[in-house]
A and B are shown apart, each in its own frame.
Chain A
Amino acid sequence: MHFWIYLDFHYRDLELPMKARVTVTLKNGVLDPQGKAIEGALGALGFAGVGSVRQGKVFDIEVEGTDAAKAKTELEAMAAKLLANTVIENYRVEIVD
């Protein structure tokens, strides 16, 4: 005896948003007083051998759709227009999964 099970689902329901990560870092040569303070605090905690600390930002962003290339272009625009100030900062966009 055979049972046929009909699965009625929409492909869309299984689609998870893509996860992206935008990393914003200070350009070389830009003074980073906060990084310097952290560097000092690490030394005070007894961590020897810390050369230098530069503080940056990480943005984890979920984007809809499945087209990674398109999402990446869009995220690059987000980074350039808002997430980073390109006068002093660089950014890197990755699609994480």
Chain B
Amino acid sequence: MKSAVVVFPGSNRERDMVAAIEKITGHRPVTVWHGDHDLPKVDLIVIPGGFSYGDYLRSGAIAAREPIMGAIAREAERGVAVLGVCNGFQILCEAGLLPGVLMRNAGLKFICKEVELRVETTASQFTRGYAKGAVIRSPVAHGDGNYRTDDETLARLKGEDRVAFRYVDNPNGSVDDIAGILSEKRNILGMMPHPENLIEPLNGGTDGKPLFEAALSAVA
């Protein structure tokens, strides 16, 4: 099981992500720099949280147009699992690998707290380790987490069972309480909350662990 964590200028959650993956698999993921044009052969690609390019223009907008994104799109097309957390979710949307966009939080404030998420589908390699409808805890830390998309796309996301997580108590104004969505082929997951920060009891819980265990064992 091999994985890669992609690092952009301004990423700041890559170390948490690397630590989480290493703890679960026993193998340290490769870190890949944004300017690279190719990715090593891996089974899971993760775009971590942070503030790539200082959120200039729009969150994730500049990172989404970097050379490495072409490689990620190619691997995703082949079916490789891609996880984008927080800024990673914003980047995936800006790159067009996931539909919609993450706008400024409805309350305009940066939100840094623990929230509850409902697992809405278990039909993906990221969420199959949870029970459908299970409520899990996860921290959020974002200023632009307000998920928006047009009505037609929203209907498609719902109709195709592509809403992975919903907020139990919507903190940011996201349409339909959406916290995370899957791509059409279900191998790309973008989510605002940080499951990598709840993988050991010392951090206050392990609700994020099943996501990584499932994603990382899918192709073991």
Contact = CB atoms under 8 A, between A and B. Distances in A.
B150 A87 contact: yes
B108 A82 contact: no
Interface stretch (A10-18, A27-35, A62-70): A27-35
Interface string A28-52: 0011011001000000000000000
B105 interface: yes
B108 A37 contact: yes
A82 B148 contact: no
A85 B219 CA distance: 35
B105 A33 contact: yes
A9 B182 CA distance: 61
A31 B108 CA distance: 12
Interface in B97-125: 99-101, 103-108
Contacts of B103: 30-31, 33, 88
A29 B183 CA distance: 25
Chain B interface size band reads 10 to 19
Chain A interface size band reads 10 to 19
Contact of A88 (B101, B107, B108, B173): B101
A27 to B, nearest CB: 9
A15 B101 CA distance: 41
Interface of B: 57-58, 61, 65, 94, 99-101, 103-108, 146, 148-150, 173
Given A33-B105, A34-B108, A87-B148, 19 more contacts: A31-B103, A31-B106, A31-B148, A33-B103, A33-B104, A33-B106, A33-B107, A33-B146, A33-B173, A34-B104, A82-B57, A82-B61, A83-B57, A85-B61, A85-B94, A87-B99, A87-B101, A87-B149, A88-B103
**A-B pairs, 10 with minimum CB distance:** A87-B101, A33-B104, A33-B108, A88-B101, A33-B106, A85-B101, A37-B108, A85-B58, A34-B104, A82-B65
21 contacts: A30-B148, A31-B103, A31-B106, A31-B148, A33-B103, A33-B104, A33-B105, A37-B108, A81-B65, A82-B57, A82-B61, A82-B65, A83-B57, A85-B58, A85-B94, A87-B99, A87-B100, A87-B101, A87-B148, A87-B150, A88-B101
